[in-house]
Structure 1
Amino acid sequence: MRPRRSTVLVAAVIVATSTTAAASAAAKPPDGAVRGSYIVTLRTGEPGAVANEHARRYSAVVEHVYRSALHGYSAVMSAADARRLAADPAVARVVPDGVAHAATQTVPPGIDRIDADVSSTAAGNGKGAVDVDIAIIDTGIDAKHPDLKVVGGVNCVPGSTSYDDLNGHGTHVAGIAAAKDNHVGVVGVAPGARLWAVRVLNSQGSGTFSSIICGIDWVTAHAGTIEVANMSLGGSAAEGSCGDGGMHEAICASVSAGVTYAVAAGNAAADAAFFVPASYDEVITVSALTDFDGVPGGVGTPTCQIGTDDEFAFFSNFGADVDLVAPGVCVLSTWRGGGYRSISGTSMSSPHVAGAAALYRSTHPAATPAQVQAALQGAGTFDWTADPDGVQEPLVIVGGF
């Protein structure tokens, strides 16, 4: 068990040290300073005119002139020239320039809880990307979102041609699975994985089985490229079989082609046996865990929704068809329009597992869907409580992937 720790990095800090002794200004730049770059504040004179005069006198290259928030300029020069400049009667102070970074990325508690931050890709350290392809069968994906690597897709909703997300749900799901590790926004379980937007639901988040089959069919046709598919959707229907001429048969063919499917158990607080595709044996069905702080122990404080930390989510479906549990309450992820939002549901749990499957496939490229499922279940833990059916499923853990 890893110790509890903060999952939010600090905001940007500009490292710059002022000096009151003119003779020592810029003598030894502090850690984080930009060598050869200085900020000069003036006692007197019009900043632009003084900057031009100093450029000639001290061999400086002026970059910015400040007249409102600061009275002075910035310039590039040698340390020796900076010391000479600091002794000029018109100069109040010379300080080394510093380095700033954009506001840092948030590691959502769910990423922390399943140990994606200590996997082989170490989600959240700002480095690396997973060499794998994930299809998001959903409302589409915001293809222009800067935190997502969308490489293509298809639209299966009648009357439309674009796979762009007009709802937000699919973009949220995509970010949980694979948001980039880029110091911006959030990070996914399989950071920077290539995402394929398979739009089967309309702008209201609903659709038909025929459209979903269209999406499955497209993914199957690209099974040589796409290793994992996520379906955070479902409906009430009989389970059917691999020969039913419908969605179950399509899933069976796709899994046989080598695609691993993670699917949401559903949010009716009922037995998943009455919902498809959750009831299919060929997929990895995922229920929801309430986790507010990214660590076990049951002490997290509720954030966006009521619930008890480290317990089965009150809305989640359950039953013998469920294979894994994953965080699904108050999950922060990407949203359409380049934004971010926190929402809850087994829709959020499933892409945690899709990302986990992608991590595993990235290092075990020959693994079959059954082998992927076995690996994920074998690596899971049981440090959570309150499964309503009394048969606890493992919580997905990817620290060893």
Structure 2
Amino acid sequence: MADDGVPKHVEYTGRYLVLLDQDDPGAGLEALSSGAGVSVAEHVEAGESATQALRQGGTVVFGDLGIAVVEAVEGDQRLALEATVASSRALVGAEPERVLHAYKKDVAAHPAEYFEGYLHGVADLVERVRGDGQITRPLTRAGGRGPQWSEDQATWGLQAVLATETALTGRGVGVAILDTGIDAAHPDLAARVKQSASFVPGQAVDDGHGHGTHCAGTACGPRNPATGPRYGVACEADIYVAKVLSDQGRGSDGQILDGINWAMDRADVRVISMSLGGAVALGDGFSRIYERAARRCLKRGKVIVAAAGNESRRPLDLRPVSTPANCPSVLAVGAIAPDFTIAPFSCAGMNPNGGGVDLVGPGVDVLSTWRDGGYRRLSGTSMATPHVAGVTALLWEQNPNATAAQIVTLLRGGTRELVLPASDAGRGLVQAP
């Protein structure tokens, strides 16, 4: 983001996301056709995929979400679309489609700069980061504050969220990881993936990046991994994988909504974990598109947790919670370090109307699975988010008949209070029941 608070490197696809009247979506489609000359190429129901239609550039309607992804329009047609949305009661609003990210790839070239997205933190981490982005040694205690951690048996993150103190395992609960895919051949994950699908045109669900595999491991890694300490929170939960980000760590809003639409229709899925996002400016509101999707998920008994973002460069430069985590119906997850201080990159609750941090999870020097059967230590709000997703799965196991709203209440009410501002940590550190 530039010094004036305006996000930089925001990328748009040229398409629009249109919110249809949820009571009469057909009237909205008619308005798009008659007012802007937009015809629907494909109508996608819950659980189906719009990948091919989006790839071909046609207009796609996610019927269960009440959202249309309108093909790229220019000039007079764009003006007609904007005028139609503004004048029709059947159309609630429209937003230009963005490209969201997992992380910026220039780690080796600029190790001391801010890492856009959600993979690597900087500031006080720079001295411990190799050129490939892997932390060279585990953290125990930073600055002489907080507990000293031994990771002989379990990672510091699992200990901090009390995952090592509960008999709950997440058994019978599905956790959907919407990310860069997964290394399904990893020895720790091979028997755990129940269903998977790719929503990235031309790419299989296999993780050519590593970010999705790392997040899946933190949320659902096994009690007894092949190598090293335990690192997974909900060690017996079922893993569902929606590849919505490419092997380059990028994905359009349409791809991500496609993945949400798929996960929403999986009966066993109770948690949707999204370690992805895009920067917003100070004073920006939340996306009504993602808010609609999150509300529909809540009604279907699913909770969305999302990374708050890595745009901050503390202590001098704080940036607001990113999209889609800034939606009121999405749980925004910030990151803490092993000494229980806020991570220097973690975004803050600076915008109104849902733009706050809800809670925090361990997000610095986090060990988990990596592609090609490996393991890696990474930092970011991306790493904090699956800790929260895993604890949410434990709560669902403990309370199988609860509503999604009740689970959210239990999650917020069971946190550990930290000596941090609510704008940084929300209710506090997530805790296993």
Interval of TM-score (by shorter of Structure 1 and Structure 2) = 0.5 to 0.7
Alignment of 1:2-401 (within 5 A): 6-9=150-153, 107-121=154-168, 130-148=171-189, 149-160=192-203, 162-185=204-227, 186-222=230-266, 224-236=267-279, 239-240=285-286, 244=288, 246-269=289-312, 270-273=318-321, 275-291=322-338, 309-319=339-349, 321-385=356-420, 387=421, 389=423, 393-398=427-432, 401=433
User: Displacement, 1:346?
Assistant: 0.2
Deviation readout 1:204-245 (Å, 9 max, x if unpaired): 1111111001101101121x221111000011355456xx4x
Matched residue of 1:195: which SS?
strand
* Cα distance change of structure 1 residues 169 and 332 upon mapping to structure 2, 3 Å threshold: same
Matched residue of 1:144: which SS?
coil
In structure 2, runs of 5+ residues without a counterpart are 1-145, 313-317, 350-354
Give the AA of the match of 2:180.
T
CA contact (8 A) 2:233 2:391 kept: yes
Give the AA of the match of 1:134.
V
User: What is the CA–CA distance in structure 2 between the aligned matches of 1:342 and 1:282, rounded to whole Å?
Assistant: 30
User: What is the CA–CA distance in structure 2 between the aligned matches of 1:290 and 1:329, rounded to whole Å?
Assistant: 5
Compare 328-337 and 263-272 and name the one that shifted more.
263-272
CA contact (8 A) 2:358 2:426 kept: no
Compare 168-177 and 360-369 and name the one that shifted more.
360-369
* Cα distance change of structure 1 residues 176 and 390 upon mapping to structure 2, 3 Å threshold: closer
User: What is the CA–CA distance in structure 2 between the aligned matches of 1:267 and 1:240, rounded to whole Å?
Assistant: 17
User: What is the CA–CA distance in structure 2 between the aligned matches of 1:210 and 1:166, rounded to whole Å?
Assistant: 21
* Cα distance change of structure 1 residues 389 and 321 upon mapping to structure 2, 3 Å threshold: closer
Q: Which structure has the greater CA radius of gyration?
A: 1
* Cα distance change of structure 1 residues 253 and 289 upon mapping to structure 2, 3 Å threshold: same
User: Displacement, 1:154?
Assistant: 1.0
User: Displacement, 1:130?
Assistant: 2.6
TM-score for both structures, normalised by structure 2:
0.59
User: What is the CA–CA distance in structure 2 between the aligned matches of 1:4 and 1:317, rounded to whole Å?
Assistant: 26
User: What is the CA–CA distance in structure 1 between the aligned matches of 2:425 and 2:364, rounded to whole Å?
Assistant: 21
* Cα distance change of structure 1 residues 392 and 346 upon mapping to structure 2, 3 Å threshold: same
User: Displacement, 1:203?
Assistant: 0.7
User: Displacement, 1:290?
Assistant: 0.6
In structure 1, runs of 5+ residues without a counterpart are 10-106, 122-127, 292-308
Matched residue of 1:272: which SS?
coil
CA contact (8 A) 1:129 1:181 kept: no
TM-score for both structures, normalised by structure 1:
0.64
Matched residue of 1:317: which SS?
coil
Give the AA of the match of 1:142.
D
Q: Which has the higher contact order (CA 8 A, sep 6+)?
A: 2
Identity within the alignment, %: 39
1:301 is matched with none
Deviation readout 1:295-335 (Å, 9 max, x if unpaired): xxxxxxxxxxxxxx221001000115211011100100000
User: What is the CA–CA distance in structure 1 between the aligned matches of 2:425 and 2:233, rounded to whole Å?
Assistant: 26
User: Displacement, 1:248?
Assistant: 2.9
Give the AA of the match of 2:167.
S
How many residue pairs match? The answer is 271
* Cα distance change of structure 1 residues 351 and 323 upon mapping to structure 2, 3 Å threshold: same
User: What is the CA–CA distance in structure 2 between the aligned matches of 1:332 and 1:365, rounded to whole Å?
Assistant: 30
User: Displacement, 1:279?
Assistant: 0.7
1:26 is matched with none
User: What is the CA–CA distance in structure 1 between the aligned matches of 2:271 and 2:424, rounded to whole Å?
Assistant: 30
2:129 is matched with none
CA contact (8 A) 1:180 1:191 kept: yes
* Cα distance change of structure 1 residues 152 and 113 upon mapping to structure 2, 3 Å threshold: same
User: What is the CA–CA distance in structure 1 between the aligned matches of 2:265 and 2:342, rounded to whole Å?
Assistant: 37
CA contact (8 A) 1:133 1:195 kept: yes
User: Displacement, 1:183?
Assistant: 4.7
User: What is the CA–CA distance in structure 1 between the aligned matches of 2:254 and 2:279, rounded to whole Å?
Assistant: 15
User: Displacement, 1:383?
Assistant: 3.5
Deviation readout 1:70-92 (Å, 9 max, x if unpaired): xxxxxxxxxxxxxxxxxxxxxxx
CA contact (8 A) 2:335 2:362 kept: yes
User: Displacement, 1:396?
Assistant: 0.7
Deviation readout 1:141-174 (Å, 9 max, x if unpaired): 11111112112111111122x2111100000000
Give the AA of the match of 1:192.
E
User: What is the CA–CA distance in structure 2 between the aligned matches of 1:138 and 1:173, rounded to whole Å?
Assistant: 8
* Cα distance change of structure 1 residues 3 and 240 upon mapping to structure 2, 3 Å threshold: closer
